[in-house]
Amino acid sequence: MHIIATIGPKSTDKWVIKELIENGADILRLNCSHFNKEEFEQVVKVAREIKGDLHILVDLCGKKIRVSKELEYIY
């Protein structure tokens, strides 16, 4: 079992990340729609300094999936 902690714009402080990891988070989730490249790299760097083998889960920003009536429902 894993504990996933989502890092948002207000939780990028080193102390916050350290507290999340020390309290059991073993995966950090970053939503790329909230960070530019430099901010993303900084958060990953800080997290890796705290725990080198920490997993990083990345949500890519992009188009949303749309559902159409043309789809065949099989369930």
Q: What are the CB-based long-range contacts (under 8 Å, 24+) for 18-24?
A: 18/50, 21/47, 21/50, 21/51, 21/54
Residue 73 within any structural domain of the chain: no
* Residue 7: both structure tokens together: 């890092």
Q: Compute mean pLDDT per 10 residues along the chain, 75 residues long, and list them.
A: 93 94 95 86 94 91 65 55
Contact between residue 33 and residue 61 where contact means Cβ atoms under 8 Å apart: yes
CA distances from 66 to 7, 60, 63, 70, 71 (A): 26, 16, 9, 11, 11
Q: What is the largest CA-CA distance in the chain?
A: 49
Range of 39's domain? 4-59
Residue 31 within any structural domain of the chain: yes
Residue 18 within any structural domain of the chain: yes
Q: What is the pLDDT of residue 66?
A: 58
Count of structural domains within the chain: 1
Q: What is the pTM of this model?
A: 0.74
Residue 21 within any structural domain of the chain: yes
